[in-house]
Amino acid sequence: MEEAAGAPGAGALLVVLAGLFITNLDFFIVNVAIPSLQQGMHATSAEIQLVAATFNIGLSAMLITGGRLGDLYGRRRIFSIGLALFTLASLACGIAPNMGELIAARAVQGAAAALVIPQVLGILTTTYTGKARVAAFNAYGLTLGASAVFGQLIGGLLIKADVFGWDWRTIFLINVPIGAVVLLLTPKLVPESRADGHTGLDLTGVVLVTAGLTAVVLPLVEGREQGWPTWTWECLVAAVPLLAGFWYTQRRKAARGKSPLVNPSLFEDRAFGVGVVSLLVFFAAMASFFLVLALYLQEGRGQSALRSGLLFIPLGLGFFVGSVQAPKAAAKLGKQVLALGAVLLAAGDLALAETVWHLDTSGSVAWCIPAMVLGGFGMGFVVAPLTSLVLEGVAPHHAAAASGVFSTAQEMGNAIGIAVIGVVFFSVAGHRIDAHSYAHAFGTSLLVQAGFCVLVAALVQLLPRARQAAA
């Protein structure tokens, strides 16, 4: 059974989505600040990499645990605790006097975001029903995509504005007033919910899944820069028994009637299992796309953070239109709306690859706009319907735990995609940093990303037909 208090409303949706937006934005926005961060803090390339890596590792490793904490102790309560920690960590990032303190604060930011993000889907699942839930999931997908698509532009605008001479610090300090407002509104507008019954936290599961996910994500985000040393492969090998042990303990606890961190019954729903894998593959394509596009525009074509950010606007417009049209298309096409979106995104990648190869070292990057609009439209057709389809059959008492698995798949996809496409991009570019080598590397990377999208379209065919209406 599920315990809940309060009544659903638009205010609750806006509040939790604001929390989602700022926490997810920090995954993408930090890349924009790298040049000014290097100059202002005299940071080494290893330190710059750790600024991004520590956030990603803390986020990925803690999402499942964060989701389960919400089920046990109250989703609104854990959302508020996580957002308070995230806001304080953002302040610490913004005033950090040296790279060591900045890196430590980023690790706290990532762990705090892992408390916030799964509660959002958990709250939406338990607060809304029927058409209102589908609309809330669509808004969730739109927010998730917007924070990624517009991260580059928002970061460029903040750094360009240079409020009070804060330069790169603005991208962290902006979270403080937003987080404070959301924290004040949360107890007034967001109803509390938790799983009924007295159950404890599965500490064995926490240790195993945290160690296992860290052993996967750490080498993926650090490996390429360090030349894939021995320890990266040792970590990946160690992840296998750790995650296998985690799954064994979860099945054993569930069989004995105890409370596992992730109930294996979640994966008895084929839509959930296939949807989680599809989500991982899709975000492997999405996150890596934003990375290599930023590299191509800023380092290959010499665009400033703001000018390159402006080119993300057509992508964002396509995404917005696609997200708005997706529910109507899903009503007619069911699960095939996801396949259509993935194919359109693949077509946008291929068209963009052909465009940058044709432009080479000359020609305006504005010629990339049609392909980016098409790709953004395809993204919009996937993100919101996929969220609804995966979580529609989840029991309310597993809402935040399932959301933790859902969000972990997204972050794992981000890490895997960036690792794979990073190897492809820099292998093709070599040691040269010029328009010709970066155009060739970017185009080649887009071919691999198109392959990810085709795989998503194939995986969608494994989804059960009975759940089509949920899309």
Q: Residues with Cβ < 8 Å from 37, sequence gap 6 or more?
A: 43, 48, 51, 168
At residue 6, the pLDDT reads 42
Lowest mean pLDDT among 39-43, 154-158, 297-301, 391-395: 391-395
Q: Which residue has the tokens 């638009």?
A: 10
Q: Computed from CA positions of residues 377, 379, 385, 388, in that sequence, does the dihedral angle turn out positive or negative?
A: negative
Give me the CATH code for the 10-190 domain, please.
Answer: 1.20.1250.20
Q: Which residue has the tokens 């096409």?
A: 333
CA dist 428 and 426 (Å) reads 5
At residue 267, the pLDDT reads 79
CA dist 211 and 57 (Å) reads 11
- Strands 193-195 and 2-4 come out as antiparallel
At residue 112, the pLDDT reads 95
Distance between terminal CA atoms of the chain?
25
Is 208 within 8 Å of 242 (Cβ atoms)?
yes
Residues 197-213: b if buried by 16+ CB within 10 A, e if exposed: eeeeebebbbebbbbbb
* Secondary structure tally for the chain: helices H, strands E: 18, 2
Structure-token pair, residue 283: 């975000």
CA dist 275 and 388 (Å) reads 10
Confidence class for position 199, pLDDT limits 50, 70, 90: low
Under CATH, domain 261-464 is a member of which superfamily?
A: MFS general substrate transporter like domains (1.20.1250.20)
Q: Computed from CA positions of residues 414, 417, 419, 421, in that sequence, does the dihedral angle turn out positive or negative?
A: negative
Average pLDDT, the chain: 84
Structure-token pair, residue 83: 């957002």
Mean pLDDT of the 202-231 span: 85
Confidence class for position 353, pLDDT limits 50, 70, 90: very high
At residue 465, the pLDDT reads 67
CA dist 118 and 360 (Å) reads 43
pLDDT digits (tens, 9 = 90+) for 311-323: 888 888 898 888 8
C-alpha 99: how far from chain center? 25
pLDDT above 70 (res 133):
yes
pLDDT digits (tens, 9 = 90+) for 61-91: 888 888 888 888 889 999 999 999 999 999 9
Global confidence as pTM: 0.81
C-alpha 132: how far from chain center? 24
- The H-or-E segment that residue 457 falls in is helix 435-460
At residue 5, the pLDDT reads 42
